[in-house]
Amino acid sequence: MTTKPTQTDLLQELVYARGPCGQEDEVRVICERELNRHCDKVWVDTAGNVVGLVRGAPAGKGSGGQSSAIRVMAHMDELGMIVKRVDATGAIRVANICAVGGMRPGCFGQGPVDILADTGIVPGVLSLGPQHSTAETANVEEAKTKALDWSHLHVFTHKTAEELAKLGVHAGTRVAIARERRKLWETGDCVGGYFMDDRAAIVIALAAAAQLKAAKKRSPQDVYFVMTTEEECGGVGAAYASRTLPGDTTLALDVGPVCAEYGTEFRRDPIIAYGDARGLYCRALADALLGHARRLGQNAQCAVWECYGSDASIAKSFGQVARAGLLCIPTQNTHGYEIILRESLQTCADLLAAFLESGDGSTASYRNSRTR
């Protein structure tokens, strides 16, 4: 008897898939497969985004009109490294590939990495050098008293520069945390691992799409589930999808930092954002999410992020979307070894499904909104 895969099983599959910015192929395959189970139409656009369309009800305010559609986005890419150069010694020098928040070397530390060379995966080790050294070994000595920086590190492969060139390792080659380090860690009701940002959000989007299908109830509006590329490099895929797909509303799904300065807590309840470093989210959309959460008996949290940007807020800052929203899963250690509550995956999915079923993302709902 085959056991039905759980949300954690899907999350593990997604985390195992390597997806540095601009090279999200392994993640894309999974997203396309899963969206095909729940959507009326699925395709990959020219920016590499995977798009799944769930058509709205044939009549009413969501009758397929462009203004009534909503785009729900979760990004496929992950924090990663890019080869800056290969030294004559064969040491590979890497840089942070991400633009927003970024990957801090101290959060990932020394350890195995996968070099996504032209000819396949080349194993390596992100390395600092011997701690049993003096000021003569300048990079190690500096790292003893200062924060670890990319300039201190190199990737060790035990190959010459010539051998690496033949394997297709060069400036621009992506380097990802090795698959061996991607196994989820579970304790009690918690799940920990790298890249909950944004694989947990992909699970939430897929769970909501499954609920819409299982309910056999069409949303009043067309819903585009978009798994985007290059969010960590500036929201490139989201901006393209917001410009080219029908609709005026983009709702992003992402991790939400659990942090005293924001008043957010590590609990099952979703976090609804009202603003971040890129601008304000649509008040009516955030209020609608909050209202649905309360009707579901959820004690939703509200937040204004100051060191943050999402697919939705970045697209809005480019003028590619009229209304932006953000729904977050509470997450410990964002942009590090991230931890979520297993139950919060379903809680966020329930809220998203209820919101989409209501049609509150339609143009009409904003025209009729009132300040509360």
Would you say residue 323 lies in a domain? yes
CA distance 171 to 190: 38
Is there a domain that residue 166 lies in? yes
238, 351: one domain: yes
Residue 357: both structure tokens together:
């079923």
Instruction: Give the angle 8-275-264 at the CA atoms, nearest 5°.
Output: 50
For residues 86 and 47, state if they share a domain: no
Mark whether 144 and 288 lie in a shared domain. no
CA 372 to centroid of chain Cα atoms: 32
Same domain (yes/no): 45, 89: no
Domain co-membership, 29 together with 115: no
How far is residue 54's CA from residue 332's CA, in Å, rounded to a whole number? 32
According to the model, what pLDDT value does residue 140 have?
A: 67
What pLDDT, on a 0 to 100 scale, did the predictor assign at position 158? 96
Residue 203 host element (H or E): helix 196-215
C-alpha to C-alpha distance for 238 and 242, rounded to whole angstroms: 6
Is residue 160 domain-shared with residue 220, that is, in the same domain? no
- Distance CA(132)–CA(128), nearest Å, equals 12
Q: Tell me, what's the pLDDT at 47?
A: 96
Q: pLDDT tens digits for 220-279?
A: 889 999 999 999 989 999 999 999 999 999 999 999 999 999 999 999 999 999 999 999
E strands, the chain, in order:
41-44, 50-54, 70-75, 81-86, 92-96, 111-117, 120-127, 154-156, 174-177, 185-187, 190-193, 223-228, 249-257, 271-276, 279-280, 301-304, 323-331, 338-341
**Token pair listed for 220:** 């009043």
The closest alpha carbon to 64, from 224, 175, 275, belongs to 224
29 inside domain = yes
pTM metric for this prediction: 0.92
Contact 282, 324 (CB under 8 A): yes
Q: In this predicted structure, what is the pLDDT of residue 129? A: 77
Q: What pLDDT score does 362 carry? A: 62
Whether 353 and 244 map to the same domain: the answer is yes
User: Do residues 329 and 230 share a domain?
Assistant: yes
Is 2 among the domain residues? Answer: no
- How much is the pLDDT for 1? 54
> Could you tell me if residue 187 is inside a domain?
no
Give tens-digit pLDDT for 161-202: 999 999 999 999 999 999 999 999 999 999 999 999 999 999
- 280 and 347 housed in the same domain: yes
Q: What's the CA angle centered on 356, arms 352 and 359, to 5 degrees?
A: 145
Same domain? For 269 and 358 the reply is: yes
Residues 34 and 140 in one domain: no
Full domain range(s) for residue 102: 81-180
pLDDT of residue 93: 95
DSSP string, 80-107: -EEEEEE-TTSPEEEEE--SSS---HHH
CA distances from 265 to 160, 168, 203, 252, 336 (A): 49, 46, 21, 20, 18
What parts of the chain have a pLDDT lower than 70?
1-3, 59-67, 98-102, 138, 140-141, 362-372
Whether the CA torsion 268, 273, 274, 277 is positive or negative: it is positive
CA-CA distance, 121 to 116, in Å (whole number)?
5
Q: Using the 3D structure, point to which of 157, 180, 203 is the last residue of a domain.
A: 180
